[in-house]
Structure 1
Amino acid sequence: MAFVPAQGYYPLYNPPIPCRSPIYGGLRAGMAVYINGMIPHHANTFAVNFSCGQYDGSDIALHFNPRFQGKDSVVFNSFQSGNWGGEENRKDGFAFRKGSPFEMVVLINPGGFQVNVNGAPFYEFRHRMPMERVECVHVTGDVTIQSITTVGGGALMGGGPSYQPGGAVTLPAYPSMSLPVMGGPMYNPPVPYLGNIHGGVTPKRTFVVKGFIPQGGQSFHINFKSTATNEIALHFNVRLNEGAVVRNSFLRGNWGNEERVANFNPFIPGQYFDISIRTGNGRYKVFVNGQQFCEYKHRFANLQMINALEIGGNIVLSLVQF
């Protein structure tokens, strides 16, 4: 079962460092880049560069550089025509801890890069060169990356990148200046979350949920629901206190038989996760952090009547997109 990303949602999972993650079709306002990773205990420094080329020495529109030497600080800068610009520093409110996971989100605004760390605004770096020149995210230094995800990019032709065994990415072909913006991502929505699925659940549609499980969390759930019948077509329930992930349906006033079988359990308190649920003709296909997790056969036949997505429990949401 191959992983198929949602339109306008292009993740790269567990890349070796240094790594370059392409920006499909170039950077533009309204897009966002999510970087989930871990800071090792021996860390001295790492850098996230929004680079204007795929090679060393390319211009850099945004250089984001946490430094753990002496007094912890984060340096922002740009690199153009072989020279660094003037540094901008944030020394207070250092958001990175050795031995801890982090989530960095870069929101692309018309005037600059808005950088959020662990769900909170961190710094705005004003554009010093056209954002459209950015071709990739380049990560180097003392850091482990779980995923780099571009949200809002993508190609009109070719359907986006294809994912090969081992994490290799094949880029699609696309015509210039004809790249659609993905509709409907919700950044940091509150919990409980309720979203309307316009047109119902149709085949070959992917639902993405990114979030964080706080320490002490007991459970959270994702429900695909029909509000007309008050039935739940898919109940995806992560039970941390049981070490299980339960799938079920609530039909005609009763719960059905639970499904619990899985080859692994990727949900850990204190960690970030990425769930993609793709609807097929006969089943849901669930991927977690880019890995196949389970399938669930349809028990609610009329998919177009499934018009609500509910998320609740002990979870902090960073993105919901469908």
Structure 2
Amino acid sequence: MNVDQDVPAATPAATIPGTAATGEQPFRSRPVSFVRRGSRLQGRRREAWEELADEYLIALPRITTDTSVAPDFTLDVDAVFGRHAPLVVEVGSGLGEAITHLAEREPDKNFLALEVYRPGLAQTMLRIDQRGLTNVRVAQVNAAEALEAMLPASSVSELWVYFPDPWHKARHLKRRLIQQPFVDLAARVLAPGSLFRLATDWSSYGVQMRNVLNASPHFENLHDGERTGALSPLTQVWESGVELVVGGAPIREGKDPVSTGNTGVNEGTDTLGGWAPRFEGRPLTSFENKALEAGRMVFDLTYRRL
């Protein structure tokens, strides 16, 4: 999802209505969930940034980095979209495949893509323009900061987190996005009765997502108790051993696989379940397709804000 390193911020060149710059950005007290590599724009993506940013990119007030947002800034969502409509937010929108797909199908909703990867944002703006969409905006921002203050409380009707960086190594687990502090921020922006959709292709992260959301007093699992036993993707992963290989290929003799530990504790059978069916509004992206080609399973979860 997010792949590029924080760099010093530049002064925003253009501001969409509802994005006035105020406040100061505090020093980050917790690790971010992304590391960005290669944010250089080339070819058509560079042209897209230059030609389309004024129309689709929300220019935010920065203090420290180009993914920060001033903590006392609140986005005027209706002003940004020029109308009042249900708001769907995707965290880590990548190349914009999922958000532009559903935005085209549901023009009565507004869609906001949050991403730190500049080439991904440029590609998303290309997709928006090519499809003639008027209900999608993008923002280059650390999602946790956006949910903490930028988005008004109870302003979101649906929140997506699809295939966040799994951070495999034990010392990096603290950088995983789906932990209690982020779930609390999600609860802040989601209106009562709204949906929180998540997906990952790594079982240990799926288990972590399920555990954290199940423990939250703010959410209920819409598929509690479903897909247990042999029907559970977790049981199927444990039985297949697919996560003990790298990209679907056998591990090198004498070497631990990159994914060591990703399966978590192999209990043989998943008796808890709670996995959602694949959301029909999510297209099969190039990223997800690679995971499936490698033989990995996809773990979907859907929770309702209480």
TM (norm. structure 2) is 0.28
- The structure where strand makes up a greater share of residues is 1
- The structure where helix makes up a greater share of residues is 2
The one of the two structures with greater contact order (alpha-carbon pairs below 8 A, sep at least 6) is 1
TM (norm. structure 1) is 0.27
Q: Give the structure with higher Rg (CA).
A: 1
